[in-house]
Structure 1
Amino acid sequence: MQTHRLKAHPAHPPARVSAIEARVIGFDADWLRVRWRIEDAHSLVVPAFAGRGRADELWRATCFELFLRPVGGEAYVELNLSPSERWAAYEFTGYRDGMSDRPASREPDCTMRQGSSFAIFDAAIPRDVLPALPASANFTAVIEEHGGVVSYWAITHPEAKPDFHDQSCFVAELAPPRRA
């Protein structure tokens, strides 16, 4: 499966984090599994464990996000996944318009592991939270480091400011899982 190298927005550089990669590590009829790998994660601030449950404004701390827009459509889905195990799923009718909670039959499963110089965040997302596929995708991360440094990572960024909702950021593709 394809690995996406995320870039920090130049107006918000990281303190020590040097690279982030995101990739789909599994996809079947029930779950989409995505992994983010953070290099040089020594100063990463990880939100405290809060247990599973929906929560808004997860992007105010270290958070991993996935945006999906069905090919040819204006509507899209935003998924926010926190190392605290809190999550959010929203649907939009258009660019930052018509936001509502996206229903989920089950809660995503999120796990954060830290090594000596890296961290790995894995998320298993219930299939019914995803929009119709194939979809254009944007893999992103908001990274908080010690000292209050916050960086915004995406496959690509619009020039002026970080905006993960910008149509130009939906450059990856997520296809439906292949049937056995």
Structure 2
Amino acid sequence: MSYTTVMKGFVLATALLITACAQSPQAIKVAPEFPAPTQANGSDSPVHIRVSDKRADKVLGSRGGTYRDTSVITLASDLSLPVEKALSSYMAAMGYDVDSLNPNTTDLHVIFTSLVYDHPKEGGVGYDMDMLATVEVEARRGNEHYEGRYRVKRNQKFFNAPSNSHNSKMVNELVVEVLSSMFSDPRLVAFLQKN
């Protein structure tokens, strides 16, 4: 075997190794899909929904790899509008009168304060992703108001680094999970359904 052949093989192996260790940046499209509600208990309660993105850090995290500081995960666009549309459709399916002109309409303001999807720096067996989502809710109707805070945090281990499509799926599922947790708060639900 010639020296040239050996060198070509070495260069190819090195290139493959570098590629395997590098992760390209990814911008995720926010498109949350809520499951069909198990029951429609909104009782035609009027509600107006607003969503704001007040995250201090717009970067979700890093995909890891050799160049973790540049292999970042961000959102392709502001999350407010797509989340607002999806949440409005979901609440309408639950039986709420969404965007009603009723003077007793509840203003439901959902504020994202954190959204994290990050591969930690520490190595180990498998491929970990840390996930965190936090929202604050301000519900107001006339002189009445209710405030709540909802948080979802978990770690998931993968055998290999998740693909672009898997990352998108996991982030959108995280958004749905933290928003769904609001409806597990009986005090918020009671406030929304009070006429």
Fold in common (TM above 0.5): no
Could you say which structure has the greater relative contact order, defined with CA pairs below 8 angstroms and 6 or more residues apart?
Answer: 1
TM-score, scaled to structure 2: 0.28
TM-score, scaled to structure 1: 0.29
Q: Flag the structure with higher strand content.
A: 1
